[in-house]
Every structure is written in C-alpha cells, then in structure tokens.
Structure 1
Amino acid sequence: MSTSILLCCSFSFLLIYSFSTPSTATIHSNETDRLALLAIKSQLHDPLGAISSWNNSVPLCLWTGVSCGRRHQRVTVLDLRNQSIGGNLSPFIGNLSFLRSINLGDNNFYGDIPNEVSLLFRLEILILANNSFSGTIPKNLSHCPNLIQFHAYRNSLQGEIPPEIGNLLKLEILYFSENHLTGQLPSSIGNLSSLLQLDVGLNSLSGTIPYSLGRLRSLFYLNLGGNNISGNLSSTVTRLVLGDNQIYGSIPPGIGNLVNLEALSMEKNQISGTIPHDIGKLKMLEALYLDENSLRGSIPASIGILPQQILGITTLSIGLDLSNNLLSGSFPSQLGNLKTLLVLYISGNRRSAQNTSSMLQMDELFPMVSYAELRRATDDFSSSNMIGQGSYGLVYKGTFGEKRTLVAVKVINLQEKGGSRSFISECQALRNIRHRNLVGIVTVCSSIDSKGADFKALIYEYMENGSLEEWLHQNKDQLDASNLSLFQRLNIAIDVACAVEYLHHHCEPPIVHGDLKPCNVLLDQDMVAHVGDFGLSKFLSDTAPETQSSSIGIRGTVGYVAPEYGMGSEVSMPGDVYSLGILLLEMFTGKRPIDSMFTDGLTLHEFAKMGLPERLWDIVEPSLLLEASSGNNNVEKFARRSGEGRVRTEECLVGVLGIGVVCSMESPAERMEMTDVVAKLCGVRENFLGRRI
C-alpha cells in the first residue's frame, strides 16, 4: 500500500472518529464543526424549516443561526432561539470547541442537558430557557471557566443545584426559576463574587439562605420566591423576591440595613408581628408587598418619610400592598406625602382605615392585579393574543376574572424612553374621566414580572370590532359589507368629537389627549367609537415647565401632530383639534396623511381643500361614490326616497370635509373649538337624514 493511500485512510478514520464520538480532539478546520452541526440536526424536529440551510450546498458560516470567527472560520455562536425546534440536544455539541455563545431559548428541546457542554471551555453564554429540558444540572459545567450567563428557567430540571456551580467565578447571571429543583441552596454560591442576578424562584427548594450569600457584594437581584426557604438576607440586594415561601416569625428589625433595596416582595408567607419602624430607612424603596401574612398593629409613620430628592422624581412609581393582614387603626398623615404612589392595596384588614391620602382612590377605582393574573389571562402574553400596539406598548386580548370577561391588556414597554411616564399619564387621566366614547379602564397592574423586572400594564374593556385604522385601510380593496358606510363614518366622527369635547370642556382640569389617530379609535360591537391610549395626555393645569429630562419629545404621531408642536409649542386644545381635523379628512377621503402622493408641499389638508366643493368626487373615498349611486344602506336609502338623496350625500361630504379642513388649518387661531366641531357635525347628520337625532 502506498504512503499516500495510507495517509488518506488515516485521515478518513480520524473524521469518522470525530463524528462518532464526542471528544476534545479537533481538526484544525471547520469540518469538525460542520459534522458536529449535522449530527445535532439529525436529532431535531424542525417544523418551521429553521435549519434547512444546514446542508452541503451552503457554506457552514452562512447556515441559519451560525456565526463564525473571522480569522479561523470556526463556529463561535449558535443562536436558534424561538424557532419551535424540538428534540434532544446531541452530545456532539461538545465538538464545537470554539463556541462562545449558545442560545436555544423558547423552543421545544427535551431530555438531559448533555454533559459534553462542559468541553466548551470558551463558552460565555448558555441560554436554554423556556424549553422542556429534564434531568439534573450537569456538575461538570464548572469546567466552563469563562461562563458569564446561564439561563435555564422554565424547564423541567430536577435534583439539587450542584455545589460545583460555585466554581464559575466569572458568572454574573444565574436563572434556574420555574423548574423542579429540590434541596438547599448550596453555600458555594457565596464564591460567585461577580454574581449580579440570582433567580431560583418557583422551585421546591428548602432549608435556609446560606450565610455565604452575604458575601455577594455585587448581587442586586435575588429571587427565592415560591420555595420553602428561610434565613437572613444580603445587605446589597436591590430587588428581593421572597414571596410564596414558608417564612415565619417577624420581619427582622435589621431590614432597614438593606439600604439599596428598591423592591421587597414577601407576600404569601407566615410573617407575624408588626412592621418595624426602621423600614423607613429604605430610601430607595419603590415597591413593598407584604400581603397575605399575619401582620398586626398599625402602619408605621416612617413609611411616609422619603427624602426630598425622591419626592422630586415625577416618574417614580411606588406600589404598596398590605392587604389580607390583621392591620388596624388609621394611616399616618405622612402617607399623603407619597404623591407618586400609583397603587395602594389595603383590603382584607376588617377595622377601617382612615383615608388621609388623596391617592387612596386608586385602590377603590382600580383594584390592583398581579403579573401572574395577567399572564394567565393572556396565555403567557402569547403572540396569538396580540391585537395591537399603542404608543408605548403591546396590546393583548385576554379573559379576566371569574366571569372570564374579555379584556384588552396594554403592557407598557418600560425600556422605551417615556414609557414609565406614559403609564403614569394614562393612570392619572383615566382615574378622573368617564364618558361613553372613551375606552373604559377595568384595572391596572404595577408589579414585577417573573424575572424581577418592573412590570406595568393597563387593562381595558375589550372592543369587539377593533380599531378604525383596520376598517379604513385593511379592507381597502374589498367593497363589501366590511367597509364603513357614509352614515357609519359620520356617527364615528361625531363619537370621536364628543369624546374630545368632553376632555377639553367637561373635565377638571381639562385634558389634552395628545395622540388622536385611527388606531386609537376603537369600535365596540354596536360600532360605537371609543377613544383610547392616553399615554401622551396632559392636564392643562400642569404649570411645571417641560424640561429636556422630563419631556417625551414631540408629542403625537407624524401626520397627525400639530405643526406648532414641531416648533416647541406646549401641547394644547388646538393641537387636538388639528389631529381630529386630519382624522376627519382621512375617514372621508380614504387617504393617510403620510400617503406617498403627498410630496412637494401637497398635504392631505391641501388635497381636500382643493377639491371642495366642485371636485368633491375626485377626493372622496371611492366606496362612498359607489354608495351614493347604489344606496346600499337603509339610512342612505331613506335619504334617497325623499328625492334629495344624491344632493344630501354631497352636502354631507362637503360639510364634513369642510370641518376637517378648518380644524387642520396651520394656524391654531384659525381652528374651531371642540364645542363648535360637535355642533356642526351633528348639524351635518341632521341635514343628511332630514330630521333631528
């Protein structure tokens, strides 16, 4: 046998060996990685075809979810998150020796976490969250010395947290919540000097909090909730979640030493005694949940004592839940200092407490609901239940309460600038207003989510017929029953105008909505319009000047926002009138204010103005032209039977569009007031029907 044949056979044997048995041996090319990934693929279910590119016709580094290093072209990142992929994770994962990041979160992986992951000594990020991994946490993960983040929450992991976890000295984030873990929290966790966040909530852990946890000076988030744990606490934690455990005895007087604490959750335990006075030392505290315990006595006055610098933060939201205890007596007068308190829940205590804070009305009007309740109501905020998007958050359909009432849940995006402020604005506005043409609020939620992060949501009445935006534009090419008739559009226009007129002239203090547009107009089962989304609303009695740090920026949406806002003017009633004028023009012309036809100075306002009255039929929505000819609605048929059908239709359209043009004048001084808008729109409807409504 020649030397060349012998070398070829030897090389082939080496490839077969590396493919058949995971090992630390590597070939200095990405062929090892390619074979390993194909072996991983062979054990997976891929209903969405996410890894269909993993084949010989596509270069390895172009495969979906695969990233390679520039110099050596070895696989450094494997990111297959949220692809509905199922199956076992192959031990061949250990052959991807250059991996620095693995993200398999939000899939359907099951079976054990392979021990071969420990061969990845370069690994920094391991995300296996929200799958169905079972078995135990591999002890030899400690062989990954560079690991910084390990996310394994929402799986079916069992057994104890291995003490070897304490050898991962670079670990910063460790999430094991919502599994079936048992045993005690190992004391070796105290060795993780870099640890910032530790979440082992909703398991079956027992025993005491290890004393060594107090050594973690960098730790700012600790969640032990939903276990059977007791013990002392770290002094550096900023978010402490201990709810739904078996903690008993009194709240320790030393609780005030947790000087950095921002959120304290100890609900659903067996805590007795009184609330210690030194809890008032927690100057950074934003949320305090002590409900469903056996606390006695009265509320200490120290809770109302907050430093001036905190009282000056207008966006600060504080939740206080002391419900279902044995508290009695009156609230301290200092509680009235909590001007930014959004949620106060005190029910289930029988002697009555004296309401000395004006913010106590929040609990009476909007009884607080928990994050867990909303999660259940929306099927874990499923994408299939998402029905829209507001100015600062996503909106989900949900079934809420014992009666399974349909609701719309708006989850505020607190990561976006102005999100927290918009929540406060909406709460303040909706607390004081009631009108048939405003979306009714059911309740609010100001809490923390399963990861300990701030969570805020507003729960509204559900509107069966969706938004005006959908009716105006999603069925643009279908001239059938789903299109809005002239009479329906006229009624909706009057509904919206009545809502704005109420905000401007019948609320004390007056309220400017700030973001009128079709997607913020919702239709109930009877096609009655309701104005919603008060995230940019403002009370006109607010006298504090807007500053760079507190302003959300230009208020409103491009195309609907009044031109003076772009030049720095304060929000005002004429600004809402302008937005309403654009809305009217859009409803009856079918053109968006940002339509591609509006260029070179031509605007929706100018387009409508040039068409009135002689070229009316050149500017109106085409379906209304057909309607005028056929009379496909009983109301319009009534008008035509009077012998003046087409004339009245034209007069109606000229009237409404004329109101829209005047309302959307560039100068605020030339626009109508809302009382006049409502009167004129009602006059147009009466003339159209030939009778008063």
Structure 2
Amino acid sequence: MFSSLFKYFHLLFFSLFVINFVPSVALLTNETDKIALLEFKSLITSDPFQVLDSWNESFSFCHWVGVTCGHKHQARVTSLHLHRKNLGGTISPHIGNLSFLRSLDLGENLLRGEIPPEASQLSQIRYLNLSFNFLHGGVPVNLSHCYNLIRLDLGNNNLTKSIPFELGLLTKLEYLTLYSNSLTGSLPASLANLSSLQWLSVGFNYLEGEFPSAIAQMKSLRGLRAGINNFSGVFPPPLYNLSNLEFLSLTDNLFSGDLLPEFGSFFPKVQILYLGGNQFTGSLPVSLSNSSSLRHLDIPDNNLTGNIPMSYGNIKNLEWLAVTNNNLGTYDHDLSFLTPLANCSNLYWLDIGYNHYGGSLPLSVANLSTQMSWLLLGGNQIGGTIPPEISNLVNLTNLCVQDNLFVGSIPESIGKLSKLTGLSLQLNKFTGPIPFSLGNLIQLSEFDAHSNGLEGPIPTSLANCQQLRILDLSANKLNGTIPGQLVGLPSLSVILNFSYNSLSGSIPLEVEKLIFLVALDLSNNNLTGELPSTTLGSCIALETLYLQGNFFHGNVPDLNLLKSIKYLDISRNNLSGQIPIYLAKSFSLENLNLSMNNLEGEVPEEGIFKNTSAVELFGNSRLCGGIKELRLRSCPHQKHKKHFSAKLVILIVSPSLCLALILSFTFLFWLRKSKKSTLVNPVVVTFYQKVSYEELAKATNDFSPANSIGSGHFGTVYKGAFGPDEATTRVAVKVLNLQCRGSSQSFMAECQALRNIRHRNLVKVLTVCSSIDFDGNEFKALVYELMPKGSLERWLHPEDGSIERTLSLNERLNIAIDVASALQYLHHQCQIPVIHCDIKPSNVLLDDALTAKLSDFGLARLLLKTGKDNQFSSFGLKGTIGYAAPEYGMGEQVSTIGDVYSYGILLLEMFTGRRPTNEIFKDDMNLHNFVKMALMPGGNVVEIVDQSLLQEKMENIEEVNSQSTSSRGKEIECLTSLLQVGIACSAYSPRDRKNMTEIVLVLFSIRVKYLGEAGVH
C-alpha cells in the first residue's frame, strides 16, 4: 500500500510539474518564438527604416533582421539585436516567451512605456540592453529572476522610484548601468552580494544618503560612477576597501570632510578619479603620487587648502590635473609645484584657476609637456610677465590667464602658438600694443583682453583669424579707427566689444557682414558720423547694440530689420529728429535708452514706451507726449485735439500730406484697375493678387503632362508662363491633390509659413489660387518663381542625359551654404520661427546661377510659444523616410534640431552621392554610420565620396600631372571637413546636434579655408 501511495504522489507531482512547468519551457516551440516576434512587431508603431519589413512569411524567422537562432533546440531564438534602429512603440510582454534568448539589445531606439514584467521569464538571458530609450516606471523587481544576467544596461531612460534590493540576487552580474534616469532613494545594501560586479553606474539620478557599509564586499569592482546625485556624508569609508577600483566618480554630490592622507594607498590601480563639486576640505593627499596608473585627477569646486604636492610630478602617466575653485595657495610665491610637473610628459590639461596663488609665473611653465593643450591660470593673483618661452607649448589650444596681476606687454611669441583657439588675457595690467603676430593664430576662436592698459591701434592682422567668434578689447587705451577688414569677419557671431577706448572715425561699412553677431558694443569712444541704417540693419541676429557715449549725429536710423534686438542704447550722442515708430512696434525690445540726445516730437505710447522701467528718455528737452508716467510735457496738438473741427483739420494739413494722399488714391485706383485685367504684367503677380483657374490652365497649357516638372505626395508641379513674349513671367504651379488626405492642411501650412518670410535662398511664392475648375471641383494651387535648373535631386542622381555635367565641389559647397542659410533664417531670424520638416534634395531648387533655394513648405510648422525651447506643434510623422529625425518616429514634437538632422543627411548625400535609402544600408548600417566609419582612423574617405568629385580633376592628364599633391590633399581635407559637419548634424541624440547658426559659420570657414573667394558664387 505504501508503494502504491508513493506511486500516486509521484504521478501527481509529475502531473503538476507538466502542468506548471512544461507549458512555460518544454511546450514552447520555435513556433512560439515566431509568434512572440510577431507580437513584438505588432507594438512597434514606427519603423522609419523599415527594419522589420523582413519579418514576414517570405523568410524563416531565423533570417529576420536582428534575429539569431541557435543550432540546437529546434532553431530557437537566442539573440535579438535591434540596436539603434529608430524603432518607436512599446515592448511587447510576449518578449518573455523567447525562453532560449541569451542576448536582447534594444538600445538607442525610441521605445516608450514600462519594461514589461514578463521579461523576468527570460531565464537564459545574459545580456540585456534597453538604454537610450524613453522607458518609464520603475526597474522591474522580478528582473531578479533572470539569474544568468551578466550585463544589465537600463541607462538613459526616464525610470523612477528606487533601485530594487532584489537586484542583489543577480549574483552573476558583472555590469550594472542605471545611469541618467530619475531614480530616488538610497543605494541598496543588497548590491554588495554582487561579488562578480565589475562596473556599477548609478550617476545622474536623485539618489541620496550615505553609501552602505556592505559595499566594501564588492571586491571585483573596477568602476564606480555615482556622480550627480545627492549622496552625503564623508568620503564613503567602505570604498577604501575596494583596492581594484580603476574608475571612481563622485562628482557633484554633498560629500564633505577631509580625504585621508593614505588615500592613494587605498587605490593603487586608480586611473580616473573625479571628486569635483563636493565639500571636501583639508589637503590634497600626498599619497596619490604613488598611484602610478593615475591619469585623471579632477577635484575642482571644493574647499581644499594647502598646495599641490611637489611629489605629483612623479605621477608619470598624469594627463589631467584640475583643482580650480578651491582655496589652494597663500597669495605668495607658491607656484613652485609647476617645476616638477614638467616630468609628467603626458599632461595636456592643467587647471589651477580661481584659487589663492600669487607671485610671478616661473619660467619653468614653459617646460611643461609639449602635449599641453589647456593651461588655465585665471582668477588668482599671479603677477610678473608671461615668459616669451611660453611658445614652447606648441600644442596649446587654450591659454587663460584672466583676472590676475600680469604686467608688461603681451609676448609676440604667442603668435607662434598656431593651434591656439582661446586666448583670455582680460582683467590684468598688460600695457603696450596688441602684437601684430596674433594674426598668425588662424584657428583663434575667442580673444578677450578687456580691462587692461593696452595702447595703440587695433592690429589689422587680426582679420586673418577667420574663425574668430568672440573679440573683446574693451576698457583699454586703444586709438585709431576700427579696421573694416576685422569687423567684416562673418565668423564673429557672439560678441564684438570695443567699448571704453579712444577709437575715432565712423562705423565701417563692413559691419554689414556681421549677419550672425549677437552683441555689438562700440560705446564710449570718439566715433562720429551718422548711424548707417543699411549697414547696421544687416546684422539681423543682433540682440544687443550699444553705441552710447560717442559723437554720432543725424536721425535715429531705421533698424526695423533687427527682429532679434533686445537691448538698444544710443544715448549720449548728438542724434536729432523724431523717435522712429518701429521702436514701439518691436516685439523683442526689452530695454531702450535714447537719453542725452537732441530728439524731438511726440513719444509713442505703444510697445516698450508703456514700460517706464525699460525706456530712458531724459536729456531730450524737445520730446513731448507719451504715457503720463514719463512726465513729459504735452504735445501742442494734444491739448484740444478732441475739439478740433473737420474744417480746422483740413486747414492745417500740410501740402506734403496732401500730395501723399493724392498718390495713395492714385495707387489704389491703379490697383483696382489692374485687378480687372488679365495676368499680363508680372508686377501683378508680385502683389500676391489671386489668379483664376482659367488663367493657370492657360499658363500651363491645360496642365499638360509635357509641362509636368515633378510630383509629390500632395500634388503635381507644372511649369508655365504668364504674359506676352516681351514681358513673360515664367512660373512653377503646384496643383494640390485634394483627394489626398492632408493636402488641404499642407496648402494652409505653406501659405501660413511663406506669408511673411523673405530670403534669397527661399523660393518665392508669387500668388495663390483657391477656386473651382471647369467641372465644378474644388481647386487649390500655389504659384512660385520658376527655378530653371530644377532640383538638387536631379543633379545628384541624374537620369540618362538629364544633365549636361555633374556639380563641382565648389558648387556643392555653395549649395550647402545656401540651404544652411535658409534654415538659419527660418529658425533664428523670423519673427515667428518656421520649421520646415522636409529637408531633402528634391525640395532644394536651383536657379540659372546654381543658387539654391529651399522649397515645399507643405509640412512646415510655425513656432508656438509653449514655454519650451524649440518646441513646435505637430501632427503625424514629419518628413521623408531616411531624412526624418529619428525622434519623430515616436511622435515627438518637431523642432529646429529635427531640421538639423535632415540637413546633415542631405550634406552626407551631397558629398557621397548615396541616398540614405540606398540598398546597401541594412541592419546597423545607415548613411550616417557608413560615413562615420570612413572618418575613423584606418578609414578611407576617398572610397566613399562621390567619385565624380575626384574624376573632375582627372579628365585632363596634363592637368593632373601639373597638379600638386598638396592641392589634391587639400580637396580631400575639404571633403573630410564637410562630411564631419554632416555627421555632427545627423547625430542620433538631438542634444548632440548643433544649431544652424553654428553650422553656417563652420561652412563659411571651410569655404574660405579650402576654396577661398573662388568658392563664392
């Protein structure tokens, strides 16, 4: 009986095992894997690169993109790798049915939602990467069931809540990355159970409290990244037990107290040590000099005292030493530590700024490593002169000695530092002239020497610094005139400040080239002449314009084109006349100072003139009117204006006003008459007069297919002509396909976007037509100027015989600059910024001179003031596959940086000749990565560029033989630089992209550097 009972329970146990376990493992077949993959696909709402198109019945699922199957277990899925595929949607719970899965990589996509708890069923999983997505919710507690996990990366998401203590059960884990989320709470002590853990990254969260003492058990730990949190207490004592640490970052927390003198002895293998942004006190540990592997020592923004130990010169591998913003030094001769640092032959970054160092700069500074790139000494009380031998630091890119007590002249030898990009000499006691040799610094981007005693004229040689973005020479004793060639540098885009000097003469006309400059300050000099409206009006990016304290005369200029102006000061001059009305209508103006001039007449009561705290008018005795808070006298016509009779008004009207009225009525009469006539005179089109369907049909030969020059999603474009032969206006007519969903919205978007924008690189809309055709159907069309050379698409990818030649490098670069300039205008210079949403070659049109003009604003959006920078209203997916920014795949709001991405792809296509949808781009390979690989060390740029660019020089063998190697190399360098711009623009992460103002400047500098003025069309 006992035997039968045993058999019964044995059978019962086996049955329960089959019921509860077998369905989840044994009964899950490869068909189950296929269904799980299809369920995964079903929740992917965006696949712009059509990665999952192969996931169909035409192929075995083991051959689907990203899927790898094992050779055992009936070909079960062992790996799913869809890294950086721009996939949007959520992660299907069915992912848990892939029971043989060992590796899952969905990193760098656009996935949202929570991590499904069913992922805990992946008992075989070793590698799980969901980083760089938009996942939210908490870290799933039951991930602890994935007990075979070796690497878990959930970084750069939107995960919240605390770190589950259950993660401590993953005893095989070697890498755990939770970096850059919104996790809260403390660090779980259970993580100490992860005896195999080598890398722990929990930085950039909201973690707090002290490190648990149990962390000392993590003997295998080589890297700990815990910076940018709210951890507190003294330097965590448990960490002193982790002798294998090679990377330690505690930056930007609330740690305090002294570092132990034996600090370096506890970490003999440390290579990277980041402790900045805390509240550490005491001295720098001398024992760190025994850390022979130490490469980066970064302890800025603390309360350290004492000095840099002399023994730090023994750290042979030291590359980076930053102790800025502490209390090191005693304002005495305490820079002797610089001498032994010369032994650190790899040192390229030395920052001792904003401490208490004093005394003269020793000559030994010139003996520092020739690898030295950044030498930052500012914010101390270092005196004496800068030794001429500073030129020995041949790789120096940034020399910052600002806010010290340096005297004497600026060494001529600085002009030998050919790689210098930043030179900060401000707030010292330098005297003498600015060295002419500084013009040799052709890579110089920022030069600040304000608040010194510099004398003489501004050297014209600075005009050679054609990458200069910031130039500040204010508060010196400079004289002479402002060099026109210097202020005409188009690279100047941040600030140009010559204020508080003794400069004379007028404002150079070359100022009109500063179209990207944000701040111009010429105040408090001896400048004369009238303020040129056309010159200053060209500086369309200006936000700050200070011209006060000079001797300018004449009227206040018309600066109506300065749509970005916020701060305008033209006080203390000899200006006369009335206040221009445009100042009252400026929406951006925040502060206006017109005081101490000879202005007269009525003060407006609108705009900034309603805010007495934002406008200054005193010292203009003949001004009147305005709001009562300004306390100005009433204007003569204001006293009894309510009682004026109609007869009196007629009597006091001036003859000039009568003439103006007569001309106005004449113009209106002519305009009414012209509306009755047919569209013969092209001037009528320019006035945006609507045209009829009949006129457009006649102009396009009844919309003949022979006149069709292109078609798109929302309609067809026809060429046409209005008027007789002697006065013909050639046009392009875009006829909307109103049966296509969204075409009406496209029509309205294009009308709205183009209503008030004007730029040489935007196709001009001449008129519109909203009518009915001969059959009574609704008809809508836009009429543009005709671009005779067609689209860029046609030139980059010509059909047989469609073009007579290929575009040269010069022409392509000019086209790239044209398109960039158009986008820079749309994004940053329109009163209401415009986002294009569909940058691609077919929307770039060329005129007879191959000047490029951006067209097709059917998807454009106007900027809405939502409180978030660069955020626009949107609906649906914007743009074209291959060109659309990856973040649009998940319905993210369109943005300026989305246009930047599309522009980057356009650049890469222009210089490689390959479309982003080329069939060679599969799996992880796309146009961006294809070019990026070629730019890496060992890559070959020549192999990937459009070969026609290279062949154009090979057609004449004699020319090839005479062409120097350096000239050919220069072309390759130019192409490399342009491809690097394309890569930077098309970065996957929006935060890594530049704005169009920066891009235009870089392109201009490339053209000047490699092509010179010959490159300008």
TM class by shorter chain equals 0.5 to 0.7
Q: Which residue of 1 aligns with 2:162?
A: 160
SS of the residue corresponding to residue 53 of structure 2 reads: coil
Give per-residue Cα distances to partners, 1:98-153, cap 9 Å, x unaligned: 10000000011111111111111100000000001111111111111110000011
Query: Quick one: structure 1 residues 126 and 334, their matched pair in 2 at CA, closer, same or farther if it must change by over 3 Å?
Result: same
Partner residue of 2:247 out of 232, 239, 243: 239
**In structure 2, what is the equivalent of residue 249 of structure 1?**
257
Aligned to 2:51: 50
CA distance in 2, matches of 1:52, 1:172: 35
The within-5 A match list for 1:268-667 is 268-306=277-315, 311=316, 316=317, 318-328=319-329, 329-332=334-337, 333-352=339-358, 354-355=361-362, 356-358=364-366, 366=374, 430=419, 440=443, 477-478=806-807, 482=811, 590-591=952-953, 619-620=958-959, 658=962, 660=964
Report if aligned partners of 1:23, 1:94 keep a CA contact under 8 Å in 2.
Answer: no
Compared CA separation, residues 221 and 618, structure 1 to 2 (3 A): closer
- For residues 29-178 of structure 1, the aligned pairs below 5 Å read 29-45=29-45, 46-71=47-72, 72-178=74-180
Q: Aligned-pair distance for 1:183? A: 1.1
- Contact 2:347 2:371 survives alignment (8 Å): no
Q: For residues 185 and 110 of structure 2, what CA distance do their matches in structure 1 show?
A: 27
**Bigger relative contact order (CA 8 A; separation at least 6):** 1
Change (3 A) 1:339 1:42: same
Q: 2:36, 2:52 → 1: CA distance?
A: 14
Mapped partners of 1:58, 1:440: distance in 2: 55
Comparing 180-189 with 328-337, greater Cα deviation is found at 328-337
1:431 Cα offset (Å): 6.0
What secondary structure does 1:159 align onto? coil
- State the AA in 1 paired with 2:281: S
Q: Is the 8 A contact 1:298 1:331 kept in 2?
A: no
Measure, in 1, the Cα distance between the counterparts of 2:176 and 2:966: 60
Distance 1:134 1:276, change over 3 A: same
Using a 3 Å threshold, how does the CA distance of structure 1 residues 26 and 36 change in structure 2: closer, same or farther?
farther
Residue by residue over 1:513-536, the C-alpha shift from the partner in whole angstroms, topping out at 9 and shown as x without a partner, is xxxxxxxxxxxxxxxxxxxxxxxx
C-alpha contact (below 8 Å) 2:79/2:101 kept by paired residues: yes
Offset of residue 557 of structure 1: 9.8
Displacement of 1:161 after TM fit?
1.0
User: C-alpha separation between the residues in 2 aligned to 1:94 and 1:100?
Assistant: 12
Q: 1:295 to 1:84 in 2, by over 3 A?
A: same
Structure 1 counterpart SS, 2:358? coil
Other structure's SS at 1:302 match: helix
Unaligned runs of at least 5 residues, structure 2: 1-18, 378-415, 423-436, 447-466, 470-488, 492-794, 798-804, 815-936, 943-947, 969-1017
CA distance in 2, matches of 1:484, 1:83: 30
1:416 match = none
- Is the 2:88–2:109 contact (alpha carbons within 8 Å) kept by the matching residues of 1? yes
Distance 2:252 2:312 in 1: 23
Structure 1 contact 51–64 (Cα < 8 Å) conserved: yes
Equivalent residue of 2:297, what SS? strand
1:588 positional shift? 11
Shift in Å, 1:44: 1.4
Q: Is the 8 A contact 2:30 2:75 kept in 1?
A: yes
Task: Flag the 1:137–1:659 CA change in 2: closer, same or farther, 3 A.
Answer: closer
Cα distance in 2 between the residues matched to 1:559 and 1:52: 31
Q: CA RMSD in A?
A: 4.1
Q: Counterpart of 1:24?
A: 24
Q: Cα gap change, 1:170/1:360 in structure 2, threshold over 3 Å: closer, same or farther?
A: same
Contact 1:588 1:620 in 2 (8 A): no
Q: Which residue identity is paired with 1:305?
A: N
CA distance in 2, matches of 1:89, 1:216: 33
Q: Distance in 2 between matches of 1:250 and 1:193?
A: 29
Equivalent-residue separation in structure 2 for 1:438 and 1:161 (angstroms): 52
Shift of 1:38: 1.2
Query: 1:372-414, CA deviations, whole angstroms, 9 ceiling, x for partnerless residues?
Result: xxxxxxxxxxxxxxxxxxxxxxxxxxxxxxxxxxxxxxxxxxx
Letter in 2 for 1:320: L
Inter-partner Cα distance in structure 1 for 2:162 and 2:51: 34
CA displacement at 1:361 relative to structure 2: 9.0
Note the C-alpha offset of 1:438.
8.1
CA contact (8 A) 1:30 1:74 kept: yes
| Distance apart, 1:437 and its partner CA | 8.5
User: Which secondary structure does the structure 1 equivalent of 2:209 belong to?
Assistant: strand
Q: Can you list the C-alpha shifts for 1:416-469, whole angstroms capped at 9, x where unaligned?
A: xxxxxxxxxxx99836998979861659xxxxxxxxxxxxxxxx879999xxxx
Retained in 2: the 8 A contact 1:160–1:181? Answer: yes
Partners of 2:62 and 2:175 in 1: how far apart? 29
The aligned amino acid for 1:346 is: I
Contact map agreement 2:123 2:147 (CA 8 A) in 1: yes
Distance 2:80 2:343 in 1: 52
Matches of 2:75 and 2:48, distance apart in 1: 29
- The alpha carbon displacement at 1:87 in A equals 1.5
Q: Does 1:189 align with 2:191?
A: yes
Summarize the Cα distance change of 1:438–1:620 in structure 2 as closer, same or farther, 3 Å threshold.
farther
Between the aligned partners of 2:952 and 2:417, the Cα distance in structure 1 is 34
Paired residues, number:
404
**Greater radius of gyration (CA):** 2
Query: 2: CA distance between counterparts of 1:66 and 1:274?
Result: 56
- Report the alpha carbon displacement of residue 254 of structure 1 after superposing the two structures with TM: 3.1
- Alpha carbons 1:146, 1:170 under 8 Å: kept: yes
Following superposition, the deviation at residue 26 of structure 1 comes to 5.2
Q: Which moved more, 1:94-103 or 1:324-333?
A: 324-333
Q: Which amino acid aligns with 1:297?
A: G
Instruction: Check whether the contact 1:147–1:171 (CA below 8 A) recurs between aligned residues.
Output: yes
Deviation of the 1:590 alpha carbon? 3.9
What secondary structure, in the 3-state scheme, does the structure 1 residue paired with 2:120 have?
helix
